[in-house]
Structure 1
Amino acid sequence: MIHAIIKEAIQTYSEELTELRRKLHSEPEVSWEEFKTTQFVSEYLDQLGITYRKTEPTGVIAEIQGGRPGKTVALRGDMDALQVEELNKDLPYTSREEGKMHACGHDAHTAMLLIAAKALNEVKEELPGNVRLLFQPAEEVAEGAKALVAQGAMEGVDNVFGIHIWSQMPTHKVSCTPGPSFASADLFKVTFKGRGGHGAMPHACIDAAIVASSFVMNVQTVVSRTIDAQHPAVLTIGKMIVGTRFNVIAENAVIEGTVRCFHPETRYYIENQLQHYADQVAAIYGATANVEYIRGTKAVLNDEYSANLVQKVAAEAFGDHVVYNEKPTMGGEDFSEYLAHAPGSFALVGSGNPEKDTEWAHHHGKFNIDEDALATGAELYAQYAWAYLNE
């Protein structure tokens, strides 16, 4: 009975859901600047009579108290935008902020979680437990989840569930498989110091450009030749700064990149190998090397019980045909911070529709979603919470 009530409520509020998403899309705020979004969420929760507290500097933690005692399940929706110029200028809800847009779907996540909260609040007397709502800032800089956890987001939580709209999957499809979902995402910076001089006298110098180039070419073998192929990893050099003038031998070179993988042992190994390769390459040429390795997000590893429950809920709510098996991605997600404190899972909800031009990659200026997917996501949030609390 409650399943049907939740479904009917989501359908009833579908137009409002679209309006919420469009308002949020047109007013994007980047990481740690989500002040208006925080206020908007707070005012909406006020209308529903749901208790909440704002987190610092942005974000909201809310709680729906069930009418019966039980466990606590947390639902997370992130809400920050990106510093990307929107290229969809013909949309009635295009970004009003130059150089900023919701290019990853967080506007959809916030709107879906609000409507899920509205539906769950209407059946709260029947809830055997509590539903915590995490409206998270700063996912794009991998800092928001950690900040919310530090401010008590996971205290007393038994299970946590999150959703990401996914343009690479067909609209309405739901993927949540046990095990790896998103990779860990680390940053590194390697600085080489040589000896500069005149471009016509390389014999008197130690060319940092040569040292850095050698490192870039050789370090790729860390993945291709020293790691088990069954443990996927990516090592990408995204930036190299070297030299100041066409006829000056470079004294310094700075390289920046990222490491992505799923297994902790692979992560540690690559970190150590970066230092080893940098030292050895520098030694060959008589230069010196300094490596900074910054750990970002951990890998998102879906709990088997929780992931299987998501699949069961999706099949019961929408039909067996919606359950999809999307391959793990090397993208990063700070949802992993919550999983360090309670078991849970992270689902993908498809929003890709070629007829609506919504298959653009996340973070692209033409990214958009098929808004038919919004109701799927909102209902999945609500039905999962109900199912978990009744297990």
Structure 2
Amino acid sequence: MNQLKALIQKYKADMIDFRRDLHQHPELQFEEFRTTEKVAQVLDQLDIPYRKTEPTGLIAELKGGQPGKTVALRADMDALPVQELNEELTYKSLEDGKMHACGHDAHTAMLLTAAKALKEVQAELKGTVRFIFQPSEENAQGAKAMVAQGAVEGVDDVFGIHIWSQLPSGTASCVVGSSFASADIFSVDFKGQGGHGAMPDACVDAAVMVSSFVMNVQAVVSRETNPLDPVVVTVGKMAVGTRFNVIAENARLEGTVRCFSLATRDRVEQALKRFGEQTAAMYGGTATVQYEYGTLPVINDEAPALLAQKIISESFGEGALVQAEPTTGGEDFSYYTEKTSGCFALVGCGNPEKDTEWAHHHGRFNVDEDAMEVGAELYARYAFEYLQQ
């Protein structure tokens, strides 16, 4: 729809200004009070009704001129505890140790711009567009909180976008099927018997237990899961011992599991518990294994994903549509698609000429702001065309 494209272009400068303001004032998980107020101010100006959620975030609705289905569009708003290293930016973070290092500032600005465009074609909408401005994606708690507060009640379909530095600016992807992996956390506490380092025969060494576990746990991936079903088991943190000549009585490690199948997730969970307990027993100690579910896998439904692909090709050219590989990163958008159909798209923002190819969560991360025009139009077009079906 050319009218939506023209409207997005009309609001592009305001969109960039809004994003830069958020970038200068990043707020961490469930602390997005200023961001929520800034979004609310624009929605007030647009006369789009909304309700605030607890403790932060908001849900707005735009009812079309004709009855129909309800489609939800989601953007996350939180920043990260990362020190910004983009010293040359005129809009660099003003908050020490906090930064929009993942592009959520862009997501918020893009969705708000899509709301502006859809407001201007409100009479032509056949149904309702719900705008979900979500807090706390980075710790995988925000989507659950929004769902609990009614974000997807009565929703027929939900669509989300993530800016993606690994794709060139001007491209976008929305694959059918697996998009993001589940992201879980596990910990193992080993218990031995401490003592003098010169008398190991009188002790049970927790350092040996934890070391053995780390060296052997990858067999969970290589020997206990389907090689055609990707799994990642990473031990990221380990604490053991108190002094150079004291045999450790306690050891603790923490890690993460990523996969695309819930059956595989269950199998890995059980294997980790077995590995931990039996490794400890082998050395005469004990182990307590805790497994905490994080995000579910994001699995794009076929019809919504094909609609998004059609829009990308028609709006931005055949060369704009790419098929990005699934990532074992996590995304709590999965809690929306657990409740209703939907899909999640990636919008490329990498541009070597603008030095915007840094990895997400890096202190040098930034977005090619021209990519935001693609994201905003994709949000708006998806909602409009879904409701026309």
> In the alignment, which residue of structure 2 is the partner of 1:41?
39
1:261-300 matches, cutoff 5 A: 261-300=259-298
Unpaired segments ≥5 residues, structure 1: none
Pick the aligned partner of 1:103 from 101, 104, 108. Answer: 101
TM-score, reference length from structure 2: 1.00
Distance 2:111 2:99 in 1: 20
Residues 66-85 of structure 1 aligned to structure 2 (within 5 Å): 66-85=64-83
CA distance in 1, matches of 2:383, 2:314: 14
Shift, 1:228, TM fit: 1.3
- CA-to-partner distance for each residue in 1:20-60, whole Å, 9 max, x for gaps? 11111111000010000001110110010000000000001
Name the counterpart of 1:310.
Answer: 308
* Separation (CA, whole Å) in 1 of partners of 2:83 and 2:21: 17
Measure how far apart 1:4 and its partner are: 1.2
Distance in 2 (alpha carbons) for counterparts of 1:285 and 1:13: 66
- Corresponding letter in the other structure for 1:55: T
Q: Which amino acid aligns with 2:339?
A: H
Counterpart position of 2:317:
319
Deviation at 1:338, TM superposition (A): 0.2
The one-letter code sitting in structure 2 at the alignment partner of 1:342 is T
Deviates more, 1:72-81 or 1:219-228: 219-228
| Inter-partner Cα distance in structure 2 for 1:157 and 1:225 | 42
- Shift in Å, 1:224: 1.5
Match of 2:345 in 1: 347
Aligned counterpart in structure 1 of residue 142 of structure 2, from 140, 144, 148: 144
Structure 1's consecutive aligned runs of 4 or more residues displaced over 2 angstroms after TM superposition are: none
Structure 1 residue matching 2:130: 3-state secondary structure: strand
Deviations along 1:92-128, one digit per CA (max 9) or x if unpaired, are 0000000000000000000000000000011011100
Corresponding residue SS for 1:229: coil
Question: Quick one: distance in 1 between partners of 2:254 and 2:193?
Answer: 21
Aligned to 2:203: 205
What is the aligned partner in structure 2 of residue 115 from structure 1? 113
- Residue 359 of structure 1 is matched in structure 2 by 357
Give the distance between the partners of 1:253 and 1:360, measured in 2 at CA.
Answer: 35
1:1-391 aligned at under 5 Å gives the runs 3-391=1-389
Q: Distance in 2 between matches of 1:66 and 1:206?
A: 69
CA distance in 2, matches of 1:43, 1:183: 35
Q: Deviations over 1:53-111 (max 9, x none)?
A: 00000001000011100000000000000000000011000000000000000000000
The whole-number CA distance in structure 1 between the counterparts of 2:147 and 2:353 is 40
- 1:325 is displaced (CA, Å) by 0.7
State how far apart, in whole Å, the 2-side matches of 1:161 and 1:288 are: 46
One-letter amino acid of the structure 2 residue matched with residue 316 of structure 1: E
Q: Structure 2 regions of 5+ residues with no counterpart? A: none
Map Cα deviations across residues 157-200 of structure 1 (whole Å, 9 max, x no partner). 00000000000000011100110000000000100000000011
Identity of aligned residues (%): 63
CA shift for structure 1 position 226: 1.9
For residue 94 of structure 2, give the secondary structure of its aligned residue in structure 1: coil
User: How far apart in 1 are the matches of 2:33 and 2:108?
Assistant: 14
Please report how far the alpha carbon of residue 5 of structure 1 lies from its aligned counterpart in structure 2 after TM superposition.
1.0
Distance 2:151 2:306 in 1: 24
| Equivalent position SS for 2:222 | helix
TM-score norm. by structure 1 comes to 0.99
- Deviations 1:332-388 (CA, angstroms, capped at 9, x unpaired): 000000001110000000000111111110000000001110100000000000110
Root mean square deviation, CA, Å: 0.5
Amino acid at match of 1:338: Y
CA distance in 2, matches of 1:66, 1:91: 40
Q: For 1:71 and 1:64, how far apart are their aligned partners in 2?
A: 12
Question: What amino acid maps onto 1:183 in structure 2?
Answer: A
User: Equivalents in 1 of 2:47, 2:170: separation in Å?
Assistant: 30
Query: Cα distance, 1:316 vs. partner?
Result: 1.1
In structure 1, distance between residues paired with 2:234 and 2:109? 34
The Cα shift of 1:147 comes to 0.4
- Secondary structure of 1:157's aligned partner: coil
Partner letter of residue 211 of structure 1? M
CA positional deviation for 1:318: 1.0
> Any idea what the Cα deviations from partners look like across 1:113-153, whole Å, max 9, x if unmatched?
00000000110111000000000000001000000011010
